[in-house]
Chain A
Amino acid sequence: MKIYIVLVCLTFLLSLKSLAQMPHDAIYMNKNLTCAAIVYGNSSWTDYWENSLKRENQNIGKLTSESMTAMISYGITKKFNFIAVVPYVKTHASEGNLLGQEGFQDVSFWLKVKPFSYKGLAGHITMGVSIPMTDYVPDFMPLSIGYGSTVLTSRAILSYNHPSHFYVNGSFAYHLRGNVEVDRDAYLNGDDLTYSNEVPVPDAIETSFRLGYLKKDNQLELFAENFSCTSGDAIRRNDMPYLTNDMKMTQVGVYGKYQPKNIGVNAKLAYVVDGLNAGQATTFSVGLLYLFNLSILN
């Protein structure tokens, strides 16, 4: 359901971040250093929150979203990085007769800067835009591969690295989510029947807290994240989710990266512990990383 889609988005963000450096971590590529990654992600749920009612749905069974994501991070300077992400998503319901969907989802571009650092403490800002790459159907939930929304994300991160290689960081992000055009010409938003093919997708706030150990390029991290729409309606009793829903979820997980040379791997496992209008997803991803020098800018 929509739930699912947000999960997919999150999965991407998470898997991204979990790469060598992500829009919401505190790691930077050195100048001209480039990290290319390919990540397989798998997010699935059986239980979901229909509004606040936790339930399963025998006509969906287990809803799985698999993704293959290509990512590239590039160090413009060692305090200013560029990241691009391209995910391909495929969905499947284990029960019932809803047709699975697949395709390229939303391409995203990010800039990350470190405006200040003092001893181990640093502040970071990332700005990103995510744009649907294809004309996929956004409101065939929960089978749709994405929201179809253009999203602008601004994120502030405060990080502290201890000389012992342990680190903590907290981040706050605001997702400005643009209206979506759907194939239908009327839809319910709360109790209001809206006569339009344009659907408002609620904005969302994402907060996270991370605790980890980073030595050279090897990393182990525990994290907790909360994703909360700032408005929206609830899934009606026994109805399907929709783009307008007020989706909230809290997720905890573990992430690790091992990069002995220029080739490395990463992996992530996450689990939704609480939610509203959302699937209780278990997500894992594994990625292959490749570091190399690219001097395109000089």
Chain B
Amino acid sequence: MKYYILTFLFVIGLFSCSKEIDEIEVLPYAPTSLDETAGTWKTFVLTGPDEIVINKPVPVTDAAYLSELDSIKNTVIPNLSGDQKALIRYWGAGSVLRWNEIARELSARYNIPPASNAEGLYPVPDAANPLADPKFPFANPPYTARALAYLSVAQYDALVSAWHYKYQFNRKAPFQVDTSIKPLLPPSDLPAYPSEDAVVAQASYVVLLAMFPGEEPFLRSKLEECMQVPVWAGMTVSSDIDAGKKIGAGVAAKVMARAKADGMGSSNNQSLTAGMIDHARSLGMVNPWISQESPARPPMLPNYGAVKTWNFDRIRLESIRPPMPYLEGSPEFKKDMDELKNIQKNQSRKQAAIANYWADGPGSFTPPGHWHRYAASAGVDSEFNEIRMARLFAYVGTALMDAGIACWDTKYFYYSPRPQQFGLKTSVGLPNFPSYTSGHSTFSFAAATVLSAFFPEKETIFLEYAGEASDSRVFGLIHYRIDCTMGANHGKVIGDYAVERAREDGAD
């Protein structure tokens, strides 16, 4: 009897400690370069690196500075707790990286379509009441693309300004002023004033709070952590932090001024759809898109295509819009349809896996988040410094937002039906907006094109990923082949505009 009970308990014990999930941990690293001239790089929104003015710092021999130094050396560092050291390890991997991850996590948490109410209507999320049901925002792919773009642009512009002042004032880091201070993060010769971490923290906080207004307590806690860590680690003093905050806040205000005027406010203008449908019919679309949800859900952000782009203008946007998709009844349409019918019948496990891997649907950080993740990994692999990382995200991010805008413009220009309007099912879930062109294809090829320009040695792999992301929508049965091939071509062109801009910003 005893034996049975022991066996019983043993088997329970054997497996109960195995729930831990191993995630790839990014550890603090010493960047391969400092990019001393980055203060001259071209910005996206700022007119110049000194548009936000900060005071000249006091010299490191000043009594006020020495008092800050003394506090770090004798009070802060000797009394660090285990939690503080864990935070140093976390944030030490890079503030730009961590804030990008935070934004991705928020996007995933907010990426759930509103439920219909008792009247069969879908209440629109309300920015003034963000935690009510439905929560604001619904962080769908266009929303997330935009949130990540503004975050990255604000970080990048603010860091260009920070670098400008760092090398103008050349104030050393505490561990260089007093060599008895042993820094807890990899040391570098980067001047400490203003603190790049504070710049990034403050700019990121402002942008993300605007994008996720219900997350003030969460974002504030991250802001405080991110600003305290470099002091705890002996990398900066608090006056470096204060100057960084000022730049971050000033740049974020300018960037958010652009955001407020970029047309997002009218992106959900549902009154435009009747005219869009008429237009699609005039082009020969016999069965324009209709919502396949029950009750019918208004299409996602029908006027997002009118939002202001980053790397090309409206005239260019219209000139690169993909041509008409195949019309119902044509042999080409039938061929695409036959491919889908065949997959529905004989979907291989490999096809399902690709469709699932790239589904990036509700509860995920969406395809733009997926590509920011790839950008982050590539930047970490190349041991990018903070400003290189921000620049990478800024070009990938603006290309993704441009891709979203141009793709949404195309979708509502043609208003084409989904395969489900002809009886197909889906193994990944059906997005609630017109079919042509594929958002995944456009996003992915735009991002892969930018990433390939930044990391030419990885071009093959990025294009392979983009190809899979594109195919995944056919394998998941929600796009015709033509949606994906034309979306892919469109994405490449959009990515090229970001690359062209990057080539002229003075960084390479």
Contacts and interface: CB of A to CB of B under 8 A. Distances in A.
User: Do they bind each other?
Assistant: yes
Interface of A: 58-59, 95-100, 113, 115-116, 123, 125, 127, 135, 137, 139-140, 152, 154, 156, 174, 176, 178-179, 182-188, 191-196, 198-200, 202-203, 231, 236-240, 242
B21 interface: yes
B8 A156 contact: yes
A154 B8 contact: yes
A142 B28 CA distance: 41
7 contacts: A97-B426, A98-B426, A185-B357, A194-B23, A196-B23, A200-B21, A237-B115
Given A152-B11, A176-B16, A188-B363, A97 B420 contact: yes
B217 to A, nearest CB: 12
Nearest to B425: A99
Contacts of B424: 97
B294 A59 contact: yes
Given A58-B294, A187-B364, A196-B23, 15 more contacts: A58-B295, A116-B1, A137-B352, A137-B356, A139-B356, A156-B8, A176-B14, A178-B15, A178-B18, A184-B364, A196-B22, A198-B22, A200-B19, A238-B114, A239-B112
B46 interface: no
Interface in B404-431: 420, 424-430
Contacts of B116: 58
B108 interface: yes
A98 B23 contact: no
B128 interface: no
Nearest to B218: A191
A40 B131 CA distance: 46
Interface residues of B, number: 56
Given A127-B11, A135-B349, A182 B356 contact: yes
Q: What are the 7 tightest A-B residue pairs by CB atom distance, in nearest-first order?
A: A183-B356, A99-B425, A238-B115, A176-B15, A193-B105, A58-B294, A200-B19
Contacts of B428: 140
B356 A99 contact: no
B2 to A, nearest CB: 10
Contact of A127 (B7, B21, B105): B7
A131 to B, nearest CB: 13
Nearest to B8: A154
Interface in B278-324: 292-295
B365 A186 contact: yes
B353 A183 contact: yes
A176 B11 contact: yes
A117 to B, nearest CB: 11
A298 B105 CA distance: 61
B349 A113 contact: no
Contact of B363 (A115, A137, A182, A187): A187
Contacts of A123: 1
Given A140-B427, A237-B134, A237-B135, A193 B104 contact: yes
Contacts of A113: 4
Contact of A196 (B21, B108, B349): B21
Contact of A125 (B4, B109, B362): B4
A23 to B, nearest CB: 14
A60 to B, nearest CB: 10
Given A59-B294, A183-B356, A238-B113, A194 B21 contact: yes
B485 interface: no
B373 interface: yes
A193 B295 contact: no
A99 B109 CA distance: 25
B12 A154 contact: yes
A140 B365 CA distance: 17
Given A198-B22, A238-B114, A188 B425 contact: no
Nearest to A134: B349
Interface in B99-133: 101, 104-105, 108-109, 112-116, 133
Contacts of A135: 349
Contacts of A58: 116, 293-295
B289 to A, nearest CB: 14
Nearest to B293: A59
Contact of B105 (A96, A179, A192, A202): A192
Nearest to B354: A183
A239 B363 contact: yes
Contacts of A240: 362-363
A154 B11 contact: yes
Most buried by A among B4, B24, B364: B4
Contact of A188 (B109, B114, B426, B429): B109
A236 B365 CA distance: 15
A115 B356 contact: no
Contacts of B420: 97
A155 B115 CA distance: 40
Contacts of A242: 363
Contacts of B24: 195
Nearest to A140: B427
Interface in B307-352: 344, 349, 352
B237 interface: no
A293 to B, nearest CB: 28
B166 to A, nearest CB: 32
Contact of A195 (B12, B23, B295): B23
A119 to B, nearest CB: 17
A239 B363 CA distance: 7
Contacts of B425: 97-100
B362 to A, nearest CB: 6
B12 A236 contact: no
